[in-house]
Structure 1
Amino acid sequence: MANFNERLNGLDLSQITHRLKIATGMTEADCLQAEVLYRQFLVLKSKYPDTPITPPQLADEVWHEHITDTLAYHNDCENLFGAFLHHIPDEDNQETWQKAVYLYQLEFGVDVSNLQAAYCR
């Protein structure tokens, strides 16, 4: 069986980002950044499965669009995680956002602190 990164690299998000671009009017560059942040978020959820993490808003936009195709999302979750990855808005708060900021920096060297957090008030 392929490792997580190989399975993630095989995940085709092109239709999802296409739908996102149409639905939101995001630029191609913004959609690309959103997809990268979402893929990084999925890596974090794989490495830290019991840690609530609030994704950056751009990543969350892709996640929401991914979820709308319920069958594909279910299959993708099974392929990536072996289980369904639930989206729990109640977990989105300042503490889980700070955890995300820390983990994006630690794992990818990416500073997301200047991005808007999903649902973070």
Structure 2
Amino acid sequence: MNSNVEMNAILDLDLSAIKGKLMHRQSGEGWTAQQADSVEREYKRFLYLMKAFPNEQTAPSVDVDTFWHYHILDTMKYAADCEQAFGYFLHHYPYVGMEGGADDEEIHVAAGVRMREIYEATFGEDYPQAAASGQDAAYCSLISKPAASVAYCGIVKPPATQAAYCGVNPPATKAAYCGVNPPATKAAYCGVVKPPAAKAAYCGINPPHMPMAAAA
């Protein structure tokens, strides 16, 4: 493997749209531009390590894992970027470590520690301090690559203390906007105000372009 060529293919990935999504306050994480740039650098290094060490069980930091998830959500771009960087689709396997074994947490921490070791050996720099102990490793790991050359990665279910920052917070029950103001001989005028339209998500499908109809 030519490491320079492999690294350049990853460095050339344009992830500006992913960073924009992560910085979005409503549909993203509300990151600053500085944080997005910093994590992008570490994410690209993570991708390189997965390419260079496909048989190592490693785990990225939580921030890098978050960047990875947002990249995957842009399905068409992720597929194209995988082809450019790896030559195959890098699958995300979401069930690693969900067997409920007594050593699950040890495996998780060990994967984070191993990531630190190969990171420092490869790049000659200290691993980002927040993740250096392995305690800040995401519940995500790269397992041995099968003969089909597809890497299997995934996240296990996080503990309750790391629940996602989302959920349902229903508003307090309110009375209908109605009232009775009847004249003496007529029925009451009463009704419910029409609720606002449901708020659309900041995502959707990108339908293929339809061919133009031939002129008659």
TM-score by length of 2: 0.51
State the partner residue of 2:154: none
Do the aligned residues in 2 keep the contact of 1:16 with 1:65 (CA within 8 Å)? yes
CA deviations on 1:38-92 (whole Å, 9 max, x unpaired) are 0010110111012122011111111000000111111111111111112234167
State the partner residue of 2:55: 50
How many angstroms does 1:113 deviate by?
Answer: 4.6
Q: What is the Cα-based RMSD across aligned positions, in Å?
A: 2.0
How many angstroms does 1:112 deviate by?
Answer: 2.8
Higher strand share: 2
Counting only pairs closer than 5 Å after superposition, residues 57-76 of structure 1 correspond to structure 2 as: 57-76=62-81
Given candidates 128, 137, 162, the residue that maps to 1:112 is: 128
Identity of aligned residues (%): 32
State the partner residue of 1:102: 117
Q: Which runs of 5+ in 2 are unaligned?
A: 98-106, 141-158, 160-216
TM-score by length of 1: 0.87
How many angstroms does 1:21 deviate by?
Answer: 1.1
Counting only pairs closer than 5 Å after superposition, residues 9-24 of structure 1 correspond to structure 2 as: 9-22=11-24, 23-24=28-29
State the partner residue of 1:88: 93
Q: Which runs of 5+ in 1 are unaligned?
A: none
Q: Max radius of gyration: which structure?
A: 2
Higher helix share: 1
State the partner residue of 1:77: 82
Q: For residue 130 of structure 2, what is the amino acid of its counterpart?
A: N
Q: How many residues are paired up? A: 120
